[in-house]
């Protein structure tokens, strides 16, 4: 799936994924973003 160009998105737009009662930033790399979930660490 092609990622939309940043100029196509408004500056206030953000991808948010809801997982395990936690909002995850969709613009971060997956491994980094998943650390926002309680109980998931970088290891």
pTM of the model: 0.53
Q: How sure is the predictor about 5, in pLDDT bands with cuts at 50, 70 and 90?
A: low
Residue 23: beta bridge partners? Answer: 18
pLDDT above 70 for 13:
yes
Number of domains in the chain: 1
The H or E element containing residue 18 is strand 16-19
**Alpha-helical runs (H) found in the chain:** 30-33
Residue 22: beta bridge partners? Answer: 19
Q: How sure is the predictor about 6, in pLDDT bands with cuts at 50, 70 and 90?
A: low
In angstroms, the CA 41 to CA 38 distance is 8
pLDDT in the model for residue 24: 85
pLDDT above 70 for 3:
no
pLDDT in the model for residue 10: 73
Q: Which residues contact 31 (CB under 8 A, 6 or more apart)?
A: 42
In terms of residue numbers, what domain contains 10? 1-43
């Amino acid at each position: 799936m092609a990622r939309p160009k940043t100029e196509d998105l408004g500056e206030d737009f953000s991808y948010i994924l809801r997982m395990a009662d936690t909002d995850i930033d969709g613009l971060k790399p997956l491994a980094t973003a998943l650390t926002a979930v309680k109980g998931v660490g970088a290891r």
